[in-house]
């Protein structure tokens, strides 16, 4: 069933037979996406093109890491910052 305008109301209607929901007055219509996003870990051969920042690796304590941003959540939330150690290539997320 999909939302359909019926006069001044929006009701749920079958897309094949056009039958409307009998409980139209109590139906709550909301939108929610169940789309899964693929997060790509950067190829080490491309790291020379990534910016380098001062950040401490949680695995080896090296002080430099490559980083990139990915919009993993809703558009109104901040992007997730991925970090990759310059020395040991350990990858982690920075949610700040």
Domain spans of the chain?
1-32, 44-94
**pTM, rounded to two decimals:** 0.50
Q: Per residue in 39-88, pLDDT tens?
A: 666 565 655 578 999 999 999 999 999 998 888 777 777 888 999 999 99
Residue from 31, 43, 54, 76 carrying the catalytic annotation = 76
Residue from 40, 43, 54, 77 carrying the catalytic annotation = 77
Q: Per residue in 2-19, pLDDT tens?
A: 777 777 777 777 777 777
C-alpha dihedral over 46, 42, 58, 64, to 10 degrees? Answer: 20
Report whether 82 contacts 91 (CB < 8 A): yes
Where helices occur in the chain by DSSP H, the ranges are none
Output the CATH code of domain 44-94.
2.20.25.10
Tokens 């093109």: give the residue.
49
Active site residue 94: no
């Amino acid at each position: 069933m999909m939302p359909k305008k019926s006069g001044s109301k929006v009701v749920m209607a079958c897309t094949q037979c056009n039958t409307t929901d009998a409980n139209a007055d109590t139906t709550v219509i909301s939108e929610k996406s169940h789309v899964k996003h693929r997060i790509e870990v950067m190829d080490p051969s491309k790291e020379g093109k990534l910016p380098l920042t001062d950040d401490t690796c949680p695995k080896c304590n090296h002080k430099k890491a490559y980083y990139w941003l990915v919009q993993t959540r809703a558009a109104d939330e901040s992007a997730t910052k991925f970090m990759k150690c310059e020395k040991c290539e350990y990858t982690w997320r920075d949610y700040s």
